Chain A
Amino acid sequence: MADDKNRPKAASDFIKGDTDAAVFLGNPHIDNLMSIVIAIGAEIWADRQRSRIIEHLLDTKGKVTTKMIEQFVPSEEQKAAWAAERDTMTKRVYGVLARDTSAGRPFGEPFNNK
Chain B
Amino acid sequence: MLDRRTLMGVSAAVTSALGVLTGRAAHAKSEPKVNPAGTLAPRGRFGRMERLANLDLESRQDFLMSFRTWANSDLSRAALSRSEVILAGKGLKKDADLTQPEAVALLENDPLIATSTRAWLSCQQLSWNGLKEEFENNSDKYLSELEAADKMGPGTLELNPSYPWPDYVKHEIHIQPGGYVGNEFAGHMYHYGTNGFYTGRNHNDELHVGVANAMPLPKDGKVLRILDVGTGIGQLAMALKERFPNAEVWGIDAGGPMVRYAHLRAVERGLDVNFAQRLGEDTKFPDNYFDIVTSYIMFHEVSPEGTKAHVKEAMRIVRPGGIYYPLDFKLTGAPKRTAYGHYRSWWDHRWNNEVWTIKFRQNGLPDLIRQAGFELNEKEPELLKGFGILNATKPAQA
Chain A residues with a Cβ under 8 A of chain B: 1-2, 4, 7-17, 19-20, 22, 24-25, 31, 34-35, 38-39, 41-43, 45-46, 48-50, 53, 60, 67-76, 78, 83, 86-87, 90-91, 94-95, 97-102, 104
Contacts and interface: CB of A to CB of B under 8 A. Distances in A.
29 contacts: A2-B140, A7-B147, A9-B184, A11-B181, A11-B256, A12-B170, A13-B181, A14-B170, A15-B170, A19-B175, A22-B351, A31-B118, A34-B115, A38-B67, A38-B119, A38-B126, A42-B59, A42-B64, A46-B56, A49-B62, A70-B54, A73-B44, A86-B66, A94-B119, A97-B115, A98-B77, A98-B116, A100-B82, A101-B82
A11 B165 contact: no
B307 interface: no
A10 B59 contact: no
A10 B165 CA distance: 13
A73 B39 contact: yes
A101 B147 CA distance: 54
Given A7-B147, A45-B62, A73-B37, A19 B352 contact: yes
Contact of A19 (B121, B159, B256): B121
Contacts of A17: 171-172, 175, 353
Interface stretch (B68-76, B93-101, B282-290, B297-305): B68-76
Contacts, number: 190
A24 B170 contact: no
Contacts of A35: 122, 125-126
Across the A-B interface, give the 4 residue pairs with the lowest CB-CB distance, nearest first.
Answer: A14-B182, A10-B256, A98-B78, A46-B59
B48 to A, nearest CB: 15
Contacts of A86: 62-63, 66
A13 B182 CA distance: 5
Given A10-B184, A10-B260, A86-B66, A15 B55 contact: no
